[in-house]
Structure 1
């Protein structure tokens, strides 16, 4: 005769397992949502970093870019935060479309954005296209809003240490070299050789 206690235990274990599986699934979805910026739909810093690292491992010929919006503060000051949110959401959509299937974009916070894409012969032209794309007006409640973007980029193949950290540093330096000299994002600076230039004296010394 089967012990009722054994039957209860046999029924309880699958129920508990199913409960834990459901709980784990909910936690995973919650974590996934926490890594997405709810306004733009882009990855936040942690989510973007993990995916960028994965892309770099699989595709050594990659480029990292940082974009900082120009003229964003006046949009908030004059038209309100709802208008600023509309601009940020539009930037998120445009940057996602620009990255395509083989790249990934993120929002670091405020009006700062980041992306990693595959490096190719058209990268310079694509970056120029991105600058123009981000300058396209955003319509919000009958008002036309326009911002620009300072964009700095770094090719991993041109860095002494082809790491995400090194690429972000080079892209950041490239961006701030033109910040303040850019008019509505019309100019951008590609920084493929920034770190390589620093190592030039050492290479010349070794060659001597």
Structure 2
């Protein structure tokens, strides 16, 4: 192989690796590490798009009541179980009709194209009020 070609290829390879690393970091920065949900910035952009395109769109904010007591009484692993269960339930409830995000702590948000019988508030209430099991409790 010509040394000139090799000398030109090495920096290009380095830039490609660097670009890949930066892309990975940006992607993970837009996702909550515990739940995999979008964070506030990613949610805001997508929710704005949904509300502009769909006149019947709905945006819901979910804040878990007494979440601190779960962490204080049962430990952070139990709190993480509640957070991940809530994320899963919200994502399942939202389905392909919108986006769900973890805004921080025990706060979540969902933007839906519209509320349907499957995504009605009664269905959400039922999903969120189910107990969360953690280590048999």
TM-score by length of 2: 0.86
Report which structure shows greater RCO (CA 8 Å, sep ≥6).
2
Other-structure match for 1:33: 28
Other-structure match for 1:136: 130
Other-structure match for 1:189: none
Structure 1 unaligned blocks of 5 or more = 1-6, 144-208
Is contact 2:47–2:111 with CA below 8 Å preserved after alignment?
A: yes
Instruction: Name whichever structure is richer in strand by fraction.
Output: 1
Local SS of the residue matching 1:114: strand
Local SS of the residue matching 2:46: helix
Local SS of the residue matching 1:104: strand
- How far does residue 142 in structure 1 lie from its aligned partner after superposition? 1.6
Other-structure match for 2:6: 11
**Which has the higher Rg, Structure 1 or Structure 2?**
1
Provide the C-alpha distance between the structure 1 equivalents of 2:117 and 2:68, rounded to a whole number of angstroms: 32
Q: Deviations over 1:112-152 (max 9, x none)?
A: 100111114548x6122111101111110121xxxxxxxxx
1:113 equivalent among 108, 118, 132 = 108
Structure 1 vs Structure 2 CA RMSD: 2.0
TM-score by length of 1: 0.59
Provide the C-alpha distance between the structure 2 equivalents of 1:18 and 1:126, rounded to a whole number of angstroms: 51
How many pairs does the alignment contain?
A: 136
Q: Deviations over 1:57-81 (max 9, x none)?
A: 4444321110111232221221112
